[in-house]
Chains A and B, each alone.
Chain A
Amino acid sequence: AQKVTQAQTEISVVEKEDVTLDCVYETRDTTYYLFWYKQPPSGELVFLIRRNSFDEQNEISGRYSWNFQKSTSSFNFTITASQVVDSAVYFCALSEANGANSKLTFGKGITLSVRP
């Protein structure tokens, strides 16, 4: 069975600080996909990134960066120079690439508060 662990439950930082959100996953499959979603106070779930298990290149998108390490089964998310608008709950999720079976298993989420 697949599992996603987000050990941090709440993080509070001051604006402009860098912050890293941790994600550890478990799966028996060799082919799988990892995701990060953002849930701002308004409640919707916003897709941020997808990474497949064969691509361990780190990715940077503006102030966001992701570090995927298969050796430690981790897919961590870093926000550089955080802003108040980054305050949200962040979910890491795992999908096993099994034909049409693409259901997501979510972690419990990390509540990030960025103070001015």
Chain B
Amino acid sequence: DAGVIQSPRHEVTEMGQEVTLRCKPISGHNSLFWYRQTMMRGLELLIYFNNNVPIDDSGMPEDRFSAKMPNASFSTLKIQPSEPRDSAVYFCASGLSDYPDTQYFGPGTRLTVL
């Protein structure tokens, strides 16, 4: 079975540019999570969806960040405009929320904002 798929795996962009990260969860999973990992702050939950509906976005740093889940098999995390402090590894994870279950993580997207 395919795991969580994220694209791109690496992204290098310049400050001010729009960045879109993509995630395809494991088929059948109904929860999707976006995390950010930095050396300073570790792993932080940004937002999570249940049945395509955003449940908690309190971790989203500011209005420059937005996330969507138009259907059960696709989600995006967008940063506009990007800043150097957004440089991090962004992970997408999926799981089953009907009964709190294990979250399976994608390989991550390493974002570098110059």
B102 — which chain A residues lie within 8 A by C-beta? 35, 47, 50
Q: How far is the CB of B12 from the nearest CB of chain A, in Å? A: 16
The total of chain A residues at the interface (CB under 8 A) is 23
* A87-103 at interface with B (beta carbon < 8 Å): 91, 95, 97-98, 100-103
Name A100's contact: one of B45, B97, B103, B108 (CB within 8 Å).
Answer: B97
Determine which residue in A43, A46, A98, A102 has the highest number of CB atoms from chain B within 10 A of its CB, and name it. A102
> A106 with B95: in contact, given A43-B89, A43-B107, A100-B31 (CB under 8 Å)?
no
Q: How far is the CB of A105 from the nearest CB of chain B, in Å? A: 8
**In the complex, per-residue mask of B71-103: 1 if CB is within 8 Å of any chain A CB, else 0:** 000000000000000000101010101101111
Tell me if B's interface is mostly helix, strand, loop or mixed: strand
A37 — which chain B residues lie within 8 A by C-beta? 105
**In the complex, per-residue mask of B46-58: 1 if CB is within 8 Å of any chain A CB, else 0:** 0010100001100
The complex places the Cα of A44 from the Cα of B3 at a distance, in Å, of: 12
Are A44 and B48 interface neighbours, CB within 8 A?
A: no
The complex places the Cα of A109 from the Cα of B56 at a distance, in Å, of: 24
Name A103's contact: one of B33, B42, B89 (CB within 8 Å).
Answer: B33
Q: Which residues on B are within 8 Å of A, measured CB to CB?
A: 31, 33, 42-43, 45, 48, 50, 55-56, 89, 91, 93, 95, 97-98, 100-108, 110
Q: Which residues on A are within 8 Å of B, measured CB to CB?
A: 33, 35, 37, 43-47, 50, 91, 95, 97-98, 100-109
